[in-house]
Amino acid sequence: MKRWAWLLLVPVLLSLAGAQVSSSLNSQSNTPQTTSSQGTWHDADSGDRMFFPKDMLWGWVQVDLAPPHNEIDPNQCGGNAGQYGGVNAPCSLFARYMISGILEVRPFGRGPLRRFMVYGAPTFLFGKTIPKTLYTWSPDAIGIEHSWGLGVYMNKGFEFRVTQHFLFDRLGARDTYLGPADLGTNGPWGRFLTVGVRKTFGTRRW
């Protein structure tokens, strides 16, 4: 990860550049606004405190239920898991319930660094199902797919982001080898790190 350490400087540099653009916009209008992942971005300082402003948190949480025969597959077990034990097959990591969310934290309320933020995006899976073999409403914990990153709002709905995605983490007694149908913990995406730009647009209805 040391070779990626220089990426931590990029948001700061972009933040300083964005501040200069913001200053030029402020000279043209008293209350310039653009769209960001939070909805409307106010380019002028809000006058809030420097550290941990009251509007520093933004995010969402979602709870999903997958009906029988439509279970969520985190790619931990092969679709033929039922061939290795039937209803008692140990590899039953197909989810009935999913809790997911995103939390963005903008810890600075003033100056160029107010455009900087860090975020996390976890997904929790629960259930005990084997395709074509066993369908239950069990809430047994399966594991967590998660990523975190940092970003900086630039201008006109553009955000620079660095994202680190991790391997799937199994929970409890299921964090072990589950027989020949076990596909390992790479999950649907595996481990990766990306550098990207997000463009948001439109106006939130609520």
Residue 111 pLDDT greater than 90, yes or no: no
pLDDT of residue 44: 53
Tell me if residue 113 falls in helix, strand or coil.
helix
Q: Is the whole model's pTM more than 0.85, yes or no? A: no
For residue 42, pLDDT over 80 is answered with no
> Residue 155 and residue 82: Cα distance in Å, rounded?
52
pLDDT of residue 43: 53
* 44 backbone dihedrals φ, ψ, rounded to 5°: -80, 145
Give the per-residue pLDDT at 40: 56
> What CA–CA distance (Å, rounded) separates 139 from 158?
40
DSSP letters spanning 2-33: GGGGGGGHHHHHHHHHHHHHHHHHHHH-SS-E
pLDDT over 90 at 49, yes or no? no
How many whole angstroms from its chain centre is CA 31? 31
Sign of the alpha-carbon dihedral angle for 143, 93, 127, 163? positive
Token pair of 85, please?
């034990």
Domain assignments of the chain as residue spans, ordered by start: 2-42+49-199
Question: What does the pLDDT look like over 66-92, one tens digit per residue?
Answer: 999 999 999 999 999 999 999 999 999
pLDDT mean across residues, the chain: 83
| Token representation of residue 107 | 């810890």
Strand, coil or helix: what is 110? coil
Tell whether the model's pLDDT for residue 205 goes beyond 60: yes
Angle in degrees, CA 38, 115, 101, rounded to 5: 40
Measured between its terminal Cα atoms, the distance across the chain in Å is 40
Confidence of residue 8 (pLDDT cuts 50, 70, 90): very low
